[in-house]
Amino acid sequence: MRFKILVIFLFCYLMTLSAAFAEDSQAKAPAPRGVWVSVFSAKKSLYSEQGVRNLIAQCNKAKVNEIYLQI
């Protein structure tokens, strides 16, 4: 009787342990990060092509993958 309980306990333990590692091994998509950019700012980053390229470069550096424009 004790042996059966021990086997059942070990089986349950190993199943939960394997499920925990299975979740960690899956590749998860990065969480979306966004930034709001206004055309009414003092820096005027959207008024030239170089300004837009600079904005995109800074967002890539900060791992921001979504840019929202307020126009």
H/E element holding 69? strand 66-70
The predicted structure's pLDDT at residue 42: 78
Question: pLDDT: is 56 or 26 the higher one?
Answer: 56
Mean per-residue pLDDT over the chain, rounded: 80
Handedness of CA 20, 22, 27, 29 (dihedral sign): negative
Could you write out the DSSP letters of every residue in 29-56?
A: PPPP-EEEEETTSSS-TTSSHHHHHHHH
| Whole-structure pTM value | 0.54
Q: Does pLDDT of 49 surpass 70?
A: yes
CB neighbourhood size of 45 (10 A): 18
> In the chain, how long is the greatest CA-to-CA distance?
79
Tell me the per-residue pLDDT of 21-38, one tens digit each, with 9 for 90 and over.
Answer: 665 555 566 788 999 988
